Amino acid sequence: GQNIDQPTEMTATEGAIVQINCTYQTSGFNGLFWYQQHAGEAPTFLSYNVLDGLEEKGRFSSFLSRSKGYSYLLLKELQMKDSASYLCAVSGGYNKLIFGAGTRLAVHP
């Protein structure tokens, strides 16, 4: 079966660091994506990992361990505008995406 798990909700303080975890069990794997989605909007791309290790992009970093079926998204220097849902998705054949339910992050002052 296909299963992607991530926490439902998280809260954090402006300026802090937050880590959103994602575990997956899928029949195929062509990479793992993280998307950000603000309420009422389309998902926007944050990061892509296909090899084990850490990918850094400004305030955002993403880590992948294929042997453990595990990824995390790290957000540093949190800003109020980072309040959004964060979607973990695994890419399979024909680049089809299987999404987790998403993690709603609330950043407060």
Binding region for another protein (CB under 8 A): 4, 30-31, 33, 35, 41-45, 48, 50, 87, 89, 91, 94-102
C-beta closer to another protein: residue 8 or 109: 8
Classify the C-alpha dihedral 41-42-46-52 as positive or negative: positive
Whole-number Å distance between alpha carbons of 7 and 23: 10
Reading the block at residue 4, the tokens are 């992607």
CB 2 within 8 A of CB 10: no
Considering the complex, state which of residue 95 and residue 109 has its C-beta at the smaller distance from another protein.
Answer: 95
Nearer to another protein, 14 or 57 (CB): 57
